[in-house]
Amino acid sequence: MKLTVTADTFQLAQVFTISRGSRTEAKVLTVTIEQDGHKGWGECVPYARYGETLDSVTAQIKDLTLPITREALLTALPAGAARNAVDCALWDLEAKQAGQPVWELAGLPKPGPEITAYTLSLDTPEKMQAQAAEHAFRPLLKTKLGGGEEDVARIQAVRKGAPDARIIVDANEGWTPELYQTLAPVLLQLGVEMVEQPLPAGQDNALLKLDRILPVCADESCHDRASLAALTGKYDMINIKLDKTGGLTEAIALRAEAQEMGFQVMVGCMVGSSLAMAPATLIAQGVAVTDLDGPLLLAEDRATPLKFDAAGVYPPDAALWG
């Protein structure tokens, strides 16, 4: 078994801004695993919010003892970007070796297209209205918010720009409990369906005491199955991202356990290429919210990108992954 890891950069179609900052490119790591004439690959996006860098994640991957199985990987690396890229590469390798698609090997239903959210970058209300108008044809918009009562003006502007779209919002840990109480009734009136991670992870116990009239989704507060016990009573939904779970293997288990506990499920992504989204399309089947729009935010993508159309995001062609 031979493993290689390379750093790749994809330019974004426009500046992408959230409450923590802006970016103009997606920096990712690509892992390729070769064995017995077959080759599998996967992608991860190291995330500074979780203490990850391109160098630190590369070092984690290169320190692995080979050969390695998906089962052994679960204990060899913690949940996070490094394990994700290797896990997805191993799934792809296994599929090629077996001549079967990953969904079949994993015992999952045959995947089809899923409507995906499209993310509107944080900006002034005027510019966010223009973004919304440009993408008003999309059935589901996710609006980045920044904290403060100007968020109301932002949503009012988005609703004006896209009067018929469903809207969810992402606060990226930028609110306070008081701000939730102020904003939630107004956002509901504007047709907002859910808010992602309004309070900082680790400071979200206040959600236990709030009347969550606007459903709340855990993002930074939910990584893997070990996260779930602490989320009960605080959140209505969890956001599964493979860069947090540490791969498809844990993501499948997390979805099943979360649904058994009564959580709704969202499947999301970091800003990466179609290779990063491909495995996530398998667990996005039938969930409450799919947010796999990473490739739509790029100016360039992999050679065989995912297909997007009015039906949503499609599962990958075998030439891409799986």
Residue 27 falls in the annotated catalytic set: no
Among 96, 234, 241, 244, the one annotated catalytic:
241
Nearest to 25 by CA among 52, 54, 58, 5: 54
Buried-exposed string 141-177: b where 16+ CB fall within 10 A, e elsewhere = bbbbbbbeeebbebbbbbbebbeebbbbbbbbbbbeb
3-state class (DSSP) for residue 244:
helix
Nearest to 169 by CA among 156, 150, 187: 187
Nearest to 250 by CA among 96, 93, 80: 80
Q: What angle do CA 57, 60, 62 make, to 5 degrees?
A: 110
Among 142, 144, 234, 244, the one annotated catalytic:
144
Residue 307 falls in the annotated catalytic set: no
DSSP structural state of residue 48: G
First-to-final CA distance of the chain: 19
SS3 string, 195-230, reads EECCCCCCCCHHHHCCCCCCCEEECCCCCCHHHHHH
As annotated, the active-site residues are: 144, 241
